[in-house]
């Protein structure tokens, strides 16, 4: 018997005990009435326990689904060329870089961005934890190198 059937059976038994309690023939028998009241209390407790169990099963099923999703994602994550990122292929089979700190700490896949490379903070930033990855740029050495390439120094 599954939980839903158990709840329905207990509800039926509870309804029957209410019907017996309301019967005029048994109404004058105090001992029978007391036993019926005790039966009703036990059935209400049992029904509450089954409802709680059903809710716990629903919660566990949700958790299992979430964990299955995470497992599927984690099986597609890979390291690449000693980079500071974790990688996953998108639908077009292109490698996409994600923050390794967010993934290690919370299992979050936060795509790293390269939107401010000239601020000398690094090459990529995580939008979630705001970590910077990559080498910092030295504007003077970059300028010297560019002039050296142009003027042959």
pLDDT tens-digit series, residues 20-41: 767 666 666 777 778 778 888 8
* Rounded-to-integer distance, Cα 109 and Cα 130, Å: 13
pLDDT tens-digit series, residues 69-112: 888 877 788 888 777 888 888 778 888 888 889 988 888 888 88
Task: Specify the pLDDT at position 64.
Answer: 96
pLDDT band at 16 (very low <50, low <70, confident <90, very high): confident
Would you state the structure tokens that stand for residue 82, as one six-digit string?
Answer: 């000693």
Task: Specify the pLDDT at position 90.
Answer: 79
Contacts of 106 (CB under 8 A, 6+ apart): none
Task: Specify the pLDDT at position 117.
Answer: 54
């Amino acid at each position: 018997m599954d939980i839903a059937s158990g709840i329905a059976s207990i509800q039926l038994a509870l309804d029957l005990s209410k019907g017996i309690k309301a019967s005029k023939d048994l109404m004058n028998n105090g001992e029978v009435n007391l036993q019926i009241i005790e039966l009703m209390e036990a059935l209400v407790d049992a029904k509450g326990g089954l409802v709680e169990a059903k809710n716990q099963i629903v919660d566990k099923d949700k958790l299992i689904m979430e964990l299955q999703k995470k497992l599927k994602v984690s099986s597609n994550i890979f390291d690449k060329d000693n980079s500071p990122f974790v990688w996953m292929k998108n639908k077009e089979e292109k490698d996409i870089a994600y923050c390794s700190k967010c993934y290690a700490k919370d299992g979050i896949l936060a795509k790293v961005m390269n939107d401010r490379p000239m601020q000398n903070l690094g090459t990529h930033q995580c939008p979630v934890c705001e970590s910077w990855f990559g080498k910092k740029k030295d504007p003077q050495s970059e300028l010297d190198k560019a002039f050296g390439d142009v003027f042959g120094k």
